Every structure is written in C-alpha cells, then in structure tokens.
A and B are shown apart, each in its own frame.
Chain A
Amino acid sequence: DQQVKQNSPSLSVQEGRISILNCDYTNSMFDYFLWYKKYPAEGPTFLISISSIKDKNEDGRFTVFLNKSAKHLSLHIVPSQPGDSAVYFCAASARTASKLTFGTGTRLQVTL
C-alpha cells in the first residue's frame, strides 16, 4: 500500500517559471512532511519541511503548502533554475514513529 503518492513521474518547466510538485498521502497519522532533492548517484538532500500545525512554510525559492483536509502537499519552486533539475521525493513521518515513508519521486527538468 502506497501511503505517499507522487502521481507525476516527470515535469518539465522553463527556466524562470514556477515549478509545482504534488504529493498525496493516505495515512492520517502523518504529522511531519519533508521534501528531498536527489541527483543521480547521490543521496537525498533535505530541502524543506512542514509540520501538520502549519499550512505553509517558506525558505528562499522553496515553499511547501499543506492541505490536511485533502491530505495533499505541494512544493513550489520559483523561479526555477537549471540546477533544480533532479528527482524530488516527498516523505512523511507519523507522531508514533520516526521512520520516513517516501513517495516514488518526480523528475523535474528545468529547460533553458
């Protein structure tokens, strides 16, 4: 059972425009959500996170939005840069366990 879903395997965006990556979850026990970026042959790099008591968190070009009623979160990158081209993973953890549950990733390509 896929508790964290990223339904778009890939996304292409022009440089300077906004990238929006989406993530849905099914487990109502999840209360902490994270986004990671991953380049080939490297480990995931932490980008930004959000606790379930908030609905938005912003860090520079990255903003994460959380809609608890819809069990949906999204990552906005603006403006997108070529160096943002990577696979983005959404992850979640529950208040009862420290393990992270990951989505299958979305490959973002930022074109010139």
Chain B
Amino acid sequence: NAGVMQNPRHLVRRRGQEARLRCSPMKGHSHVYWYRQLPEEGLKFMVYLQKENIIDESGMPKERFSAEFPKEGPSILRIQQVVRGDSAAYFCASSRFGTSDSNQPQHFGDGTRLSIL
C-alpha cells in the first residue's frame, strides 16, 4: 500500500550538470503531476503526464526542463545544465483519474530537494 515514492530525497549538483528526479506513483494511479516549491512559497505546477503522454506542460520552463512517464518505470523530471535558480523542492503527485474529470485529490510524495552549488 505504498504511497508516491520519489528519489532521491536530496540531490546536489554543480552548475552545468544534469539532474534527474524520479517518481513512482501510487499503485493503480496512471496520472502524474510535478510541482516545484521555492523557499517560502507555495507549490507551482510544472507538468501533468499520463502514461507515455504529456497532457499539460504549461508550467514547465521552455528550456532545459523535460519530463516523461514511460509505459514501464517511473516518471522522470530532467533538468539539463542546472543553474542556481533551479534549487528548490520538487514534488510529484499522482491520481487514479484526472482531477478535472473526477474531482479526486492528488496524493504527493515527500519530494526531492535539489541543491545547486
């Protein structure tokens, strides 16, 4: 009965390196959402994926950021050539159905804290 699993919990990268954040949704959930939280702010939506499809990427920066949710395996949020401003907590959430279709809550993992040196 595991919840949303994110790894790693903490990730340290130097400027210019790549960061890969992984998210395994709750069992039976095929909808995955990524959010970012900067210090002292609320969570900001980045991207919404269903298996093998990006449904809404309106919150993703246009450059350096990408996300995927393959048929097998976890969802991956990838940040290329990281900069200091990418330092944040990145949260993944999942739901059984899309929130707009079902009025069902999204359930969150404990996040990955990304620090850029």
Contacts and interface: CB of A to CB of B under 8 A. Distances in A.
Contacts of A49: 103, 105
B98 A98 contact: yes
B73 to A, nearest CB: 21
A96 interface: yes
A98 B43 contact: no
Interface string A95-107: 1111111111100
A106 B52 CA distance: 36
- Number of contact residues on A: which range applies? 20 to 34
Contacts of B6: 43
B104 to A, nearest CB: 9
Interface stretch (B55-63, B64-72, B79-87): B55-63
A46 B107 CA distance: 7
Interface in B75-101: 91, 93, 95, 98-101
Given A98-B55, A104-B42, A34 B48 contact: no
B74 to A, nearest CB: 16
Contacts of B45: 99-101
Interface of B: 4, 6, 31, 33, 35, 40-45, 48, 55-56, 58-59, 91, 93, 95, 98-101, 103, 105-111, 113
